[in-house]
Amino acid sequence: MTLKLWRMLMNESATTTSSIQKRRIIYLVFATIALLIIGLIYAWSLFAKPIGAEYADYKSMLSQVFQVSMLVFCISALFGAQIYKRISPRAAIFVAAISLGVGFVGTALLTSLSVWILFIFYGLFAAAGVGIAYNAIISLVNQWFPDRTGVSSGVMMMGFGISALAFGSLANAAFEVIDWPIVFIIIGVVGIVVLAAVGLVVRPAPTDIASQLGMKSTAVTVKDSPTKSQFILRTKTFWLYSIWSTFIVVCGLTLIGSNMQGAEVVGVGPIIAPLLVGTFSTMNGIGRIINGALFDRFGLLPVMILAAGIATLSMVGLALSFGLMSEGFSPFIYVVVVFLYGFAYGSAPVMGASFARRRFKASDFAKNLSIINCNIAVASVINLIIAAFLGAPDAGNGTVIYTLLAVLMALAMLSLLVFSRVYKKDIATINEELQ
């Protein structure tokens, strides 16, 4: 059975609908496992604990390592997109595997030399490997799902989103019985093996994949039009989309950065408060699949409006939870908001992939996805500015900070009115050009 499966995967001439369906499901499984592994980059708070315990003089700079890794994640995706397009998807994935392995293994073996080793190997090499792999794998596998772009993106990104909960918890347990450098080496080696397997097994989809799947309207998936071929940074629709995406991520980063601490401040019990970290991660993962399915059924705009509405109400709820602590409602409100906002936050990465695929030409998907993901870097900078002036929500200004974020999300809701008109006009033009 295993040999038969391997022959089917390696046989590029197998073009029956049945073989394509099997092939793309297997590719999706491989991709999701890989994204589960590389999603560990978000588990830095767990990794930083044993490192800080061993090197107490590093503690003041550990949080900055994560900020650097997020910036490198975004920038490296742009670099990886060029490898993907100019050389091959396989080359991009292999480069990512090497970079990821060097990052984790180098961090394990050399951290004792200086705190800057963390910035170089974890913040640069490991994060670059994640950024390149994330962009390349999603771009490669999404080609196989012209009929289910939203769901396929959601499944893969779910793996990335829940990684810190799934494998992060496993790594945290391992730290209790194994020295953290050994755990890092294991992660590095496993990462190399898994990414190399994806690079070897997953092939680019045939150019006529839509027709082979029996889709009625195949022109949109295989032809380019002047409107679809526009450079993404020169379009109004991208910049209007970015307002929504950036503010969704700003709110999410604020909540993620102080989730457990904020819960404790508003009165959530010591047993439930730590569980909210996993709750948010779980809802983030589930939200990615559901939002992807909603996109496939209803399109981009309804999902963006729904997510913006939930985000606005969530920020209002968080502001109230900090402002009404004396009333006794705060713990309940806070828990509900964490549950809801995890779902809304899961819409951003999936809609980014769906927007890039629907609005711009398919051959530029890897590059455009990396550009769209740069909104994470912009959101990180905004988040740092807010923190510089107002501090963390759990440090006394929770009501003010979340009221400000509620206002930003309300502005994002208003921007969707303009985005809706521009986007609908663009899509109508594309449909005319492709007829």
pLDDT attached to residue 219: 41
Task: Please name the residues in contact with 118: beta carbons below 8 A apart, sequence gap of 6 or more.
Answer: 51, 58, 61, 62, 65, 107, 111
Instruction: Find which of 116-125, 158-167, 234-243, 390-399 is predicted with most confidence, using mean pLDDT.
Output: 234-243
Cβ atoms 137, 153 nearer than 8 A: no
The separation between the first and the last C-alpha atoms of the chain, rounded to the nearest angstrom, is 45
pLDDT attached to residue 111: 87
pLDDT attached to residue 91: 95
SS3 88: coil
What is the band of 4 on the pLDDT scale with cuts at 50, 70, 90? low
Instruction: Find which of 132-146, 213-227, 294-308 is predicted with most confidence, using mean pLDDT.
Output: 294-308
CA 332 to chain centre: 28
Task: Please name the residues in contact with 288: beta carbons below 8 A apart, sequence gap of 6 or more.
Answer: 153, 154, 155, 157, 158, 161, 346, 347, 349, 350
Task: Please name the residues in contact with 16: beta carbons below 8 A apart, sequence gap of 6 or more.
Answer: none
Topology of domain 2-216, CATH: Growth Hormone; Chain: A; (1.20.1250)
Angstrom distance (rounded) from CA 298 to CA 15: 30
CA atoms within 13 A on the CB side of 161: 28
pLDDT in tens, 365-378: 888 988 998 888 89
* Residue 1 in this model has a pLDDT that exceeds 50: no
* Residue 412 in this model has a pLDDT that exceeds 90: yes
SS3 216: coil
pLDDT attached to residue 239: 96
pTM recorded for the entire structure: 0.78
Q: Following DSSP, what letter does each residue of 160-171 receive, concatenated? A: HHHHHHHHHHHH
Average pLDDT, the chain: 86
At 150, list the tokens. Answer: 């939203």
Angstrom distance (rounded) from CA 304 to CA 295: 9
pLDDT in tens, 41-74: 877 777 877 888 888 888 777 777 877 888 888 8
Angstrom distance (rounded) from CA 426 to CA 428: 5
* Residue 217 in this model has a pLDDT that exceeds 80: no
| Lowest-pLDDT range of 119-133, 171-185, 394-408 | 171-185
pLDDT in tens, 101-160: 999 999 999 988 888 999 999 989 999 999 999 999 988 988 888 877 788 888 887 877
pLDDT attached to residue 69: 86
1.10.645.10, 3.40.50.10490, 3.30.2400.10, 1.20.1250.20: CATH of 224-430: 1.20.1250.20
pLDDT attached to residue 220: 43
* Residue 223 in this model has a pLDDT that exceeds 70: no
Location of each CATH 1.20.1250.20 domain in the chain: 2-216, 224-430
* Residue 15 in this model has a pLDDT that exceeds 70: no
At 343, list the tokens. Answer: 């779902």
Question: Which stretches of 175-218 are DSSP H helices?
Answer: 180-201, 209-212
| Lowest-pLDDT range of 41-45, 115-119, 244-248, 356-360 | 41-45
* Residue 224 in this model has a pLDDT that exceeds 50: yes
Q: Which residue has the higher pLDDT, 321 or 5?
A: 321
At 399, list the tokens. Answer: 């009501």
Q: Percentage of the chain surpassing pLDDT 90?
A: 40
* Residue 221 in this model has a pLDDT that exceeds 50: no
